Amino acid sequence: MKTPKTIEVFGQPSWTLESGTVTAFITQTGGQLAPVGFRLGRKTVQPFSIAPWWNEKVEKGLPPIVRVLRGDFFCLPFGGNDVPYRGVKHEVHGDTANLRWKPVGFTKTAAETTLRLGMELKAYSGHVEKRVTLVPGQTAVYQKHIVTGVNAPTSLGHHAILKFPEKAGSGRLSTSKRMLGQVFVEPTENPENRGYSILKPGATFDDLAAVPTVTGATTDLGRYPARRGFEDIAILVADPTLAVAWTAVAFPEEGYAWFALRDPKVLASTLLWISNGGRHYPPWSGRHVNALGVEDITGCFHYGAAQSAKSNVLAKQGVRTSVTPTAKRPLHVNYIMGLTAIPKTFDCVKDIVVESGKVILISERGASVGTPVNVEFLQSAD
H-only helix segments in 93-140: none
Question: For residue 246, is it within any domain?
Answer: yes
Question: For residue 155, is it within any domain?
Answer: yes
Question: For residue 1, is it within any domain?
Answer: no
Terminal C-alpha separation, the chain: 20
Higher pLDDT, 356 or 216: 216
CATH number at residue 355: 2.70.98.10
Whether residue 103 has a cis bond before it, omega within 30° of 0: no
Question: For residue 242, is it within any domain?
Answer: yes
pLDDT of residue 3: 79
pLDDT of residue 247: 98
| CA 162 vs CA 70, 151, 192, 261: distances in Å | 9, 33, 28, 15
What share of the chain in percent tops pLDDT 90?
94
Question: For residue 128, is it within any domain?
Answer: yes
CB 200 within 8 A of CB 183: yes
Identify the domain containing residue 195 by its residue range. 6-379
- Eight-state DSSP code of residue 67: H
Classify strands 331-341 and 291-298 as parallel, antiparallel or unpaired. unpaired
Whether residue 372 has a cis bond before it, omega within 30° of 0: no
Question: For residue 140, is it within any domain?
Answer: yes
pLDDT of residue 324: 93
Helix (H) or strand (E) holding 306: helix 305-309
Q: 110: exposed, middle or buried (C-beta count within 10 Å: 0-12, 13-18, 19+)?
A: exposed
The whole model's pTM is what? 0.97
Tell me the C-alpha distance between 174 and 154, whole Å: 27
**Would the pLDDT of 297 be above 90?**
yes
Based on the structure, what is the number of domains in the chain? 1
Tell me the C-alpha distance between 149 and 157, whole Å: 17
pLDDT of residue 2: 78
pLDDT of residue 327: 83
Mean pLDDT of 260-283: 98
CB 343 within 8 A of CB 367: yes
pLDDT band at 4 (very low <50, low <70, confident <90, very high): confident
**Would the pLDDT of 304 be above 90?**
yes
Tell me the C-alpha distance between 183 and 226, whole Å: 16
pLDDT of residue 289: 98
Question: For residue 223, is it within any domain?
Answer: yes
Q: What contacts 73, CB < 8 A, 6 or more positions away? A: 30, 31, 32, 33, 65, 93, 96, 97, 158, 159
Tell me the C-alpha distance between 287 and 262, whole Å: 31
Question: For residue 337, is it within any domain?
Answer: yes
Mean pLDDT of 126-149: 97
